[in-house]
Every structure is written in C-alpha cells, then in structure tokens.
C-alpha cells in the first residue's frame, strides 16, 4: 500500500549553540516565509516545522557533557521523519555537519521521502542537486 501524506514535516538543521529561543524563532519564521514566498510547499497547507529546540532540558540520566550527543540523536530521529530538509550552513556547528553527513549517507535510501532538500543562506533557498 502506498503511503499518502496530507501534510509535510520540515526539518531545519541550524546552529543552536549560543542561540536564544527568540533568535531561533526569528530564523524559523524567516525560513517559513521564504518557503511560502517561493511556493515550495505547493498544495500542502499543513506544513509543520519540526521543533528540534530542546534547550537546556535533557533527561536526568544524561550528564551535562553528553547532552550535545543526546540532542543530536533526537534531531536525527526527527530528520528521518521529515519530508523537507533545510540546511543552514555553519562552519562551527558540529551537529549541523553530522546532520548533513547523515543526509548524504542516507539520501539514496530516503530518496522517496527526501525529495525537497535545500540550503538556506542569505535569506535564499537553494535546492540541492543529486551530486551532493
């Protein structure tokens, strides 16, 4: 049976270290407006930006120095469920680099799902081609 989706989940890989919740919300709003302006969401009225902002909260069994890895694991789990991937480049964000490497490693396996993959830079979305 073919899977039918009535909405899209959007995963945005972005630097979060040292970013306030307000700054993050501003970036997410900016990206969402660009998606709408460039008609990338098409007929999908119900588009959900996956909330990967976990802030300082981690389970009590995770030590402070392990929190980044725990958050990264959660983010990659969310990425696997997303239909649209957007990467915000950062030379210093290790988690973003790992998420992008996961995309490159698994893009063939996830090809039916990850058809819309973009880089967001300078307030523009650029579709990634198959050579990524």
Q: Residue ranges of the domains in the chain?
A: 7-127
In terms of Cα–Cα distance, which of 94, 95, 50 is closest to 71?
95
pLDDT reported for residue 4:
54
pLDDT at 3 over 90: no
Query: What band does 17 get if pLDDT is binned at 50, 70 and 90?
Result: confident
- Quote the distance between the C-alpha of residue 122 and its chain's center: 17
In terms of Cα–Cα distance, which of 64, 75, 73, 104 is closest to 14?
75
pLDDT at 47 over 80: no
Query: What band does 132 get if pLDDT is binned at 50, 70 and 90?
Result: low
What is the mean predicted confidence (pLDDT) over 111-120? 91
CA distances from 79 to 13, 83, 127, 132 (A): 9, 8, 17, 17
Name the burial class of residue 11, with classes exposed (0-12), middle (13-18) and buried (19+) by CB atoms within 10 angstroms of its CB.
Answer: buried
């Amino acid at each position: 049976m073919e899977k039918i989706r009535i909405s899209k989940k959007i995963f945005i890989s972005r630097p979060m270290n040292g970013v306030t919740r307000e700054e993050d919300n501003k970036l997410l709003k900016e990206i969402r407006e660009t998606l709408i302006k460039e008609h990338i969401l098409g007929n999908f009225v119900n588009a959900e930006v996956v909330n990967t902002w976990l802030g300082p909260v981690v389970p009590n069994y995770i030590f402070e120095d392990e929190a980044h890895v725990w958050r990264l694991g959660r983010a990659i789990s969310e990425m696997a469920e997303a239909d649209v991937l957007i990467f915000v480049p950062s030379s210093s964000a290790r988690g973003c680099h790992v998420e992008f490497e996961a995309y490159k490693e698994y893009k063939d396996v996830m090809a039916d799902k990850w058809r819309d993959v973009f880089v967001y830079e300078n307030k523009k979305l650029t579709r990634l081609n198959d050579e990524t």
